[in-house]
Structure 1
Amino acid sequence: MKATFGLLALAGSLAHAHYTIPRVSSGGASSSSDWQHVRRTENYQHNGPVTDVRSSAMTCYELQPGTPAPETLPVSAGGTLTFQINPNIYHPGPVNVYMAKAPGSAADFDGKGNVWFKIYSDKPTITSQSITFPSDGAGSIDVKIPSCIADGEYLVRFEQIGLHSASGTNGAQLYISCAQVKVSGGSGSYSPNLMSFPGAYSPNDPGLLINIYWPIPTQYISPGGAALQC
C-alpha cells in the first residue's frame, strides 16, 4: 500500500511539473474556455511533453489531428497575442513561436510542409553561476504579431522547451500548442524563412542537446533560427 501511495504521489508531482497552453487572447478578444481558439493537444489530461522532434506531434501536438478548434481568434498585425499557461511554465528553457498562413481557413489547415516562420524567440541571461530564461514560472507569455505579415488566417504554434533533462538525446521536453487566428491590418511586405514541423529540428541541435547545469553554458542557440524582423 505504501509503495502504491508513493507511486501515485510521484505521478501527481510529475503531472504538476508539466503544463499545457490552452488559451489565447488579443486586443480585448479572449478565450472564455480552454481549447476555444487552441487545438486540443494530446497532453490535455496528462500535461506531458513531446520528446521526439522527428515525430508528427511536432506540428501541433493535436489530440485528434485534423480536428480544428471551435473558433478562430481575430487579431491585429502589430498587436499582442497572449498565451495562457496551465498551470505555469515549470521547467527552464526557451519559448519559440511560429506562424503558418493557411491557404484558406485556419480551421481547414493541417500545418504540414514548409509553411512555418518564427515570430518570437526569447533569450536567456547567462552568468558564471547560472543560465536563466525569462519564461521561468510564467503563467502567460506575450508575443507581438509582426506588422509586416499578410492579412488572412494562420496557425500560431507556441512552443516552450524544458531543458532540465536535455543532457541526453531526446531529453528536451517540448510543450506545444497551435492557436487559430485571423489577422487584419498587415502590410504583407514580409519575406519569411519557411520551415516544417517535423523537419526544422534535429535531436542533436545545440539548443536541444545541452547540459544547462554544469558546466554552465557560455551561450545558448535556440533551434529554428532567428525570428522574423519587419
Structure 2
Amino acid sequence: MWIFTAGNTTRHATQYRVNRVFVAGDAAHVHVPAGGQGVNVGMQDAVNLAWKLAAEAKGRVTPLITHGAASYDRERRPVARLLSCNTQAQTALMTAFTPEGAALRDLMSTLLGRPETNERLANLLSGLSVSYDNPDAAHPLDGHRAPDLRLSDGETLLRRLRIDRFLLLDFTPSEEFAALGSPAVQVASAEPWSGPAAALIRPDGYIARAWTVADVDQARAALTDWVSA
C-alpha cells in the first residue's frame, strides 16, 4: 500500500542562480500536485539549464545566456510564477464547497466542453505553451517552441537537436545560410515553412531568432549574441 499526503503549500525560489549554485525542479518550486505539472516544469528547468552549462563547458557561452534576457533565472522563474497561479486556481476549484465554488465548477465544466479551451489547458499543463520573452525579438516566432519540422534529408528537427550546439534551419532553395555552420552551429536545409527564410533553434528546441528575408550578414551578426566563437 502506498500512503502519502499532499499539502497546498505554494512558493518558488526568488533566485534560480547564486554564483555557482543553481536550483531546479522541486528545489525551485513547490505547489499542489495538480495535473502533474511539477514533472513537466522540472524537466524543462533541467533542459534549459543543461544546454547553458554545456555552452559554458565548451567555452561558447555569451552574456545573453549567463545574465541577459536568455539567462536561466530570467527564463524559468516566470514559468514558476505561472505554475503557482494555475495550481492555486485548481485548488480553489477542487476545494471550494461554497455556492460560489459550485458555480465556478459549473462554469469551468461548460468551458471544458469547448475544444479550444481543452487545447489551451492541455498546452498549459504540459508546458508546451511556454515561450520566452526577448526584448530584442525581431520576429513573431522568436522565443517560441519550434514545431518538429521535416528536414530535407528526411530527419526531423527534434531528432537533430544536440545539447551542445544550435541548429540553423535554412528554408531557402539555394541554401544561402550553409556558410554559417561551425562546431557550435549545425546548419540543416529544411522543407519550406510559412514565414521565415531561416530560423536559429536553441538546443532545447526553442527559436532563438528567425529571419523573414535571406540576409546572411544579419544572421551572422545575430549568432554572436548566442554563440561565442
Q: Normalized per residue, which structure has more strand? A: 1
TM-score (norm 1): 0.26
Q: Normalized per residue, which structure has more helix? A: 2
